Structure 1
Amino acid sequence: MGLFSKQFANVVEWQEFREDMIFYKWNNDEIKKGSRLIIRPGQDAIFLYNGKIEGIFKDEGDYDIESQIIPFLSTLKGFKFGFNSGIRAEVLFINTKEFISKWGTQNAINIPAPNMPGGLPIRANGTFTFKVNDYVKLIDKIAGVKQSYLVEDVRLRIVAILDQLLMKWITKEGKDMFNLQANSFDIANGIRSDLDMQLFDSGLSVSGFTIMSFTYPEEIQKMINKNASFGMIGDMGRYQQAAMTEGISSGKVHGGGVASDMAGMMMGINMANQMMQNMNTPNSPANNSQTTPGSQSKPNFCPNCGTKTDGANFCSNCGHKLV
C-alpha cells in the first residue's frame, strides 16, 4: 500500500500517537518531492519498498527525505524526484519503549491437589513487560498485514495460553498447593521463559513477569488462615483458650447471659487448672519456697468440697486454699 497523498510535499510522521500502540503504519499514496520525515523520542522509522526493508532510522529529528533519507535506502539511492513523480513506499513507525500490562486468570484453574479429586480451584493476577526486539519478524508476522498493533492485542494473546502455563509451573516439582505465594518467584520465572518463546517468532520479547497474588475459594482460604493460626499459637489447647477469650471480649460469645456465663466459667476453670498445674510442678516458684518447721500439713481432702487434694496447695475443684 502506498503511503503519501498526491501533493508536492508531505510530512511523514506518527499521527495520533498512543502510548499503548506498538507500531503504526503511515498510510498515504506516495512520497512527493520536498517531503519530510519526523522521528520523535522513543520511535524508530522503517522504510519499506515492495515489502522489503530499505532502511531503519533511529535518531530523533526532522529530516528532508530527498537529501537525508533517500541516499541511505538500499535500492533507492539513485532515485530522483521529478516534477510529478513520487515514491510508492511504506514507512513503519515502531514504539521502542518497554510496555507493561496487567493480567488475570479469566476462570479458576483446577490444580491437582492431594485429597481433592476435582482439583484445587485458584485464580491469580499480576503484570508482565515486553518490547519489540526483532523488526524483521515483527513485519513478517504482524506488521505486514496490520496498520497498527496495541498492547491489548498482546495481552489477549498471552492470557489465551496463561492458564496452561500456570498449571505447568504450579504442579512442577511438587509445590505446596496451599502456599503458592511462597513459590511465586520461581513460578513467574518459568512462565516468563515460556511466554518469551511463544512470542519469539513475532519479534516480541517478554522481559518480565510477576505474580502479585493467588486467590483460593473462600472456604479454602479460611482453612489456610486457621492452619496458620494453629502454627502461630503452637498447640490446640492454647488456640482454644485464645479463641474463647477473643470471642468473649468481642461480644461474639453471647446468648442471654447463659452462654456467655458458661463460656466464662469454662475459661476460668481452664485458667485455674493451668495455674495449679504450674504451681505443682517441681520447679514452680510455690514449691521452691522455704517452709518453716512448724508449718501446717496439707489435708488429703478439701475441707470445703471433699475433693481429694493429692498434695496440692489449692483444691482442683473449688480452688479452696489447703494450707
Structure 2
Amino acid sequence: MSFFRGQFANVVEWEEFREDMIFWKWSNKEIKKGSKLIIRPGQDAIFFHNGKIEGIFQNEGEYNIESQIIPFLSTLKGFKFGFNSGMRVEVLFVNTKEFTVRWGTQNPVLLPAPNLPGGMPVRANGTFNFKVNDYVALIDRIAGVKDSYLVEEVKLRITSVLDQLLMKWISKEGKDMFNLQANAFDIARGIREDLDMQVLSTGLTITGFQVMSFNYPQQIQDMINKTASHEMIGNVGKYQQISMTDGMASGNVKGGGAAADMAGMMMGMNIAKDMMKNMESQSPQQGSSGQGTAQETQGEGKKPNFCPNCGAKNEGANFCPQCGQKLG
C-alpha cells in the first residue's frame, strides 16, 4: 500500500455493522490516494459519484484505493481523480445475507362466518425471509435519502399489509376457516407472491413466507376440540359417560349440586345395571348348584329306622343306642 507525504490514509469500511442492518452508507468523507477499502464476508461495497453508481465490489478482502480502486473507477465515464487532490465520495455497504423475520397479525382478522355478523376473529403468526437483489432500485428508492436501513423497517412495512393479504388468501377458493392449518402452505404461497410485488420496487425480494399457526378465540377453540373428541370416539353417548366419569374421578363434579346428584344417580344406575347383567348370566349355574346342595342336604338328613349292625330300632338318632353304630 502506497503513502504520499502529507496525506492521511483513510480506511473505508463498515464502521457500524449490525446483524439487523440491511445497508450502511460511508459518506461525506474524503478518499485520498493511499486509503484502503475493507470488505468483510457477507458484504458488498458500492461506490457513488454524483449520485450514480460507479463501481460495485463484491469480493471480500482488503483493497488498495490507489492501485486497485482508482484505476478501475477512472475507466468509467465522468470519473475524475486529481493526482494530489482528494475526492468526496459515498460508499454504500450492503448486507448480502438472507434475513429471517418473525411476524404476527397486529389485530385479529375478521373472517366472514355464518351466524357471526361481525365475522370470526383469527390471529396468525410465522416467519418471512428477504434479501437485497437490485442495487439500482435500492439506491433510487431508499439509499438515496437514508444513511442506513434496518430489518425492523422492512418488518413494519410487511406487517402493515399482512392482515389484508391473510383475509384475501384465506377467503380465496372457500378455505375451511375451522381447519386453516391444513391450507397453510397454499395461503403462505399466495401471500409471498403478493408481498414480493410490494417490495420489488425497493430492491428487495421476499424469498420465503411461512404461516406457523392460526389462533382462534378460546371459545371457538374449545368447540373445535370438543367436536374433534366426539368424532374420535364416534359415539356421543359414550363420550358423555366418559366425560362424567372423568369429572367425578378428578373431583371436578362434587356433591351439593343438582348436576352432581344427577351424575351420581346415573353412575349408580349404570353400576346396578352391570351387576344385574352379571347375576343373570350366572343364575342358571347357581340354581342347579343350589338344587343339588338341597338334595344332598335332604339325603344327608334322612336316618334309617333300624340299625344295620344290630337291628335295634332307631328313633332318628345319629348313633345306634344299642351298639353305637353311626347312622346316616
TM-score under structure 1 length normalisation = 0.79
Structure 2 CA distance for aligned equivalents of residues 279 and 173 of structure 1? 60
Report the equivalent of 1:75: 76
Instruction: Give yes or no for contact 1:180–1:214 (8 Å, CA) kept in 2.
Output: yes
Residues 259 and 202 from structure 1, CA distance in 2 versus in 1: closer, same or farther, beyond 3 angstroms? closer
Structure 2 CA distance for aligned equivalents of residues 276 and 233 of structure 1? 27
Structure 2 CA distance for aligned equivalents of residues 177 and 18 of structure 1? 41
Report the equivalent of 1:244: 244
Report the equivalent of 2:298: none
Residues 67 and 155 from structure 1, CA distance in 2 versus in 1: closer, same or farther, beyond 3 angstroms? same
Question: How much identity, in percent, do the aligned residues show?
Answer: 69
For residues 278-319 of structure 1, what are the alpha-carbon distances to aligned partners after superposition, in whole Å with 9 as ceiling and x for unaligned? 999xxxxx7xx9x99x989xxxxxxxxxxxxxxxxxxxxxxx
* Structure with the larger helix share: 2
One-letter amino acid of the counterpart of residue 219, structure 1: Q
Report the equivalent of 1:208: 208
| Cα displacement (A) at 1:148 | 0.5
Structure 2: segments with no counterpart, 5+ residues: 1-5, 290-328
Residues 139 and 257 from structure 1, CA distance in 2 versus in 1: closer, same or farther, beyond 3 angstroms? closer
| Cα displacement (A) at 1:97 | 0.2
SS for the counterpart of 1:145 is coil
Report the equivalent of 1:193: 193
Structure 2 CA distance for aligned equivalents of residues 155 and 7 of structure 1? 44
- Decide which moves more: 15-24 or 227-236: 227-236
Structure 2 CA distance for aligned equivalents of residues 231 and 186 of structure 1? 26
Report the equivalent of 2:24: 24
Instruction: Give yes or no for contact 1:32–1:81 (8 Å, CA) kept in 2.
Output: no
Instruction: Give yes or no for contact 2:188–2:210 (8 Å, CA) kept in 1.
Output: yes
One-letter amino acid of the counterpart of residue 26, structure 1: W
Structure 2 CA distance for aligned equivalents of residues 275 and 176 of structure 1? 47
Instruction: Give yes or no for contact 1:175–1:183 (8 Å, CA) kept in 2.
Output: yes
Match status 1:135 vs 2:135: yes
Instruction: Give yes or no for contact 1:30–1:89 (8 Å, CA) kept in 2.
Output: yes
Residues 278 and 61 from structure 1, CA distance in 2 versus in 1: closer, same or farther, beyond 3 angstroms? farther
| Cα displacement (A) at 1:214 | 1.1
Instruction: Give yes or no for contact 1:109–1:123 (8 Å, CA) kept in 2.
Output: yes
Residues 215 and 105 from structure 1, CA distance in 2 versus in 1: closer, same or farther, beyond 3 angstroms? same
One-letter amino acid of the counterpart of residue 83, structure 2: G
Structure 1 CA distance for aligned equivalents of residues 278 and 153 of structure 2? 68
Q: Which structure has the bigger radius of gyration?
A: 2
- Decide which moves more: 139-148 or 225-234: 225-234
